[in-house]
Chain A
Amino acid sequence: MQNRVNRAVELAEAAGAMPGPAGEESYRRPGIWRRLRALLAAATVNRGARIGLALVLALVFAAVFAPWIAPFDPDEMGAGMFLSPPSAAHWFGTDEFGRDIFSRVIHGARLTIQVGVIAVGISLTVGTLVGLVAGYAGGWTERILMRLVDVVFSFTETLIALAAVAVMGPSLTNAMIAVGIAAIPFYARVAYSVTLVERNRAYFDAAYVAGAGHMRLIFVHLLPNILPPLIVVATLGVSSAVLAAAGLSFLGLGAQPPSPEWGAMLSAGRDYFTQASWIMIYPGLAIMVAVLAFNLLGDGIREALDPRQKHR
């Protein structure tokens, strides 16, 4: 995990230098969108990143158009026979209530995207703020904040998420929040490292000399510049958030039946999988593909930006 941070920091620093030369001398940096577009263009040179991006887009497509893609209502009991194997009518078979598993998996994509957006949104926002303030303020603020981050980070995200759910009680929303909280230290670490890099660039000194106040320096000058690399790092973060939330739901601490959340589907189907293996195969496969999509994308971007790779 320490290693995960190091690699994420490496990735963020490489992404922070994009596009063009590191720009230590320049007094202006290109806008966020231009930089993200440049990053994406650089990344899609990598085959893994292209596959990952295609899978992510497919996932988003499934989530947005779920009602039109899914042949059945995900909650409709008796859409088919109970526990009938995959067939032309029910591609992924039906579950113990005769619900169409394919339709449920497609609708589950919505929840997965939600988990990704909300969980990563929480950890990215809070983590960025903590890292940014620590990196900007320096001194005791920096020492206390980062020490605290280190302490929290030394637990696994699983434990922090469990503790958070234990406090808030089981539900999908709480699971998303819990997973988001659990990943805060990770983003704080990365944001902190990137802030330290940005602080040493010419534009920051220029703004400081020009007499910009703390708020202006933090939110107008630093924040827009640390965001692009952090967003790149967040692609990797989405995969662990999705995995963790599905795990909580599987344990019964997240989404509750009859929700078509993939982890909850696996949990509910456990009692039947000896008779009907498709009940566990497809939701699990869906989780894996979603996680794989973001892993491929994140890894691909990292590989494409790896300065060592380029010299070889």
Chain B
Amino acid sequence: MARYLLQRVFAAILTVFVTTIAVSMLIHLVPGDPVQIMYAQSQGTTPEQLEEVRARLGLDRPLVEQYVTYIGRVLQGDLGHTIRGEQPVLELLLLRLPNTLVLASAALLIAATIGMTLGFVAAYKRGTWIDTVLMTTAILGVSMPHFWLGLILLFYFAVQLQWFPVAGNGIENLVLPAVTLGLTNAAIIARLTRSSMIDIFDQDFIRTAHAKGLPKAVVLSRHALRAGLVPIVTMIGLQFTYMMGGAIVVENVFGWNGVGRMAIQAIFQRDYPLIQGFILMFAVVVVTVSLLMDLIYAWLDPRIRR
């Protein structure tokens, strides 16, 4: 158990470490002069000002020195300042991160509930018309672009039926984006749940449970679901990362004020400090979530818990 967790923590630290290198070097991969590109959109910047920025960002110093300076600042919680407006990047991100997390969590809740239920039913009814209908729906769902589903939901429920406001940041604005992100991911979870549960239903210990004379409902819930939960929960944990990625797109459809929307604006404005901060923060969130999942996994599976 301890060994397992140590391994996971080490992997997490390594991921963040590699990310910091990638992020600090990102700006040098930009074709042409990044400083010029960054300020291309602002009027009347003089070459002297550009030089000053270059010096301030440390871009004129050796790469190793740049990295050491960067990591030193990051460790102190300083992610730099935005090009536009000179605002502290970390503050900006932390202001919007909760919105994104709320969206992704709500979507995960929807996706897990619907996806696991339908996947379980499909596995239990495998080979019947119910299975066929559910799995056909699921592959359509997997193939559906979420931004398109978002537009359709927006059009129908916000514009036509006017059940929800078109844009804003209240709880009533959360429903449509969460459903959008949730439904497409529910399809993925349903497919994975189905195949996991089919594997479980064929296991010897399920036969043993039946041979004990336990009622079907008990065999399904206590034995099958409990054993199936281990791979399914792991998979749903990984799905959270995927949701964070999806949230970037969906936030832009619904005007949800999260980090994803800000990141896209930053890319348009070539605001590299903000982009770098965003990627690093995303990495930390992903790593934290997957560590959390490893903990849950260890708790669920006695073979690891020990």
Contact = CB atoms under 8 A, between A and B. Distances in A.
**Direct A–B contact in complex, judged by CB atoms less than 8 Å apart:** yes
Interface of A: 1-3, 48, 147-148, 150-152, 154-159, 162-163, 165-170, 239, 243, 246-247, 250-253, 263, 266, 270, 273-274, 277, 280-281, 284, 287-289, 291-292, 295-296, 299
Contacts of B242: 1, 156
Interface in B140-192: 140, 142-148, 151-152, 155, 159, 192
B14 interface: yes
Contact of B145 (A147, A167, A247, A296): A247
B238 A2 contact: yes
A287 B279 contact: no
Contact of B155 (A3, A163, A168, A277): A277
Chain B interface, DSSP helix/strand/loop, else mixed:
helix
Interface stretch (B41-49, B89-97, B216-224, B281-289): B281-289
User: How many residues of B sit at the interface, in one of the four size bands?
Assistant: 35 or more
B151 to A, nearest CB: 5
A250 B155 CA distance: 17
A251 B286 contact: no
Contacts of A288: 140, 143-145, 148
A266 B253 CA distance: 11
Given A158-B245, A158-B246, A295-B139, A3 B235 contact: yes
A253 B26 CA distance: 18
B15 interface: yes
Interface of B: 11, 14-15, 18-19, 26, 29-31, 37, 139-140, 142-148, 151-152, 155, 159, 192, 231, 234-235, 238-239, 241-242, 244-246, 248-249, 252, 263-264, 266-268, 270, 272, 275, 279, 282-283, 286-287, 290
A292 B145 contact: no
Contacts of A273: 151, 155
A156 B181 CA distance: 15
Nearest to A285: B148
A251 B251 CA distance: 10
Given A157-B245, A159-B279, A252-B268, 9 more contacts: A2-B235, A3-B235, A158-B248, A162-B263, A162-B264, A167-B29, A168-B30, A169-B31, A243-B143
A266 B270 CA distance: 24
A184 B144 CA distance: 23
Contact of B275 (A2, A163, A277): A163
A154 B241 contact: yes
Chain A interface, DSSP helix/strand/loop, else mixed:
helix
Contact of B238 (A3, A263, A266): A3
B148 A151 contact: no
A156 B244 contact: yes
Contacts of B238: 1-3
A147 to B, nearest CB: 7
- Which of A162, A170, A246, A292 gathers most chain B CB within 10 Å? A162
- Which of A154, A166, A252, A287 gathers most chain B CB within 10 Å? A166
B188 to A, nearest CB: 9
A167 B268 contact: no
Given A266-B151, A295-B142, A250 B159 contact: no
A287 B151 CA distance: 14
Nearest to A163: B279
Given A155-B282, A251-B249, A291-B143, A280 B14 contact: no
- Which of B139, B147, B264, B268 gathers most chain A CB within 10 Å? B147
Contacts of A280: 148, 151-152, 155
A284 B145 contact: yes
Contacts of B249: 158, 247, 250-251
B31 A168 contact: yes
B143 A170 contact: no
Nearest to A299: B139
Given A158-B246, A251-B252, A167 B30 contact: yes
10 contacts: A3-B235, A155-B283, A156-B242, A158-B249, A167-B26, A251-B147, A251-B249, A253-B267, A263-B145, A288-B145
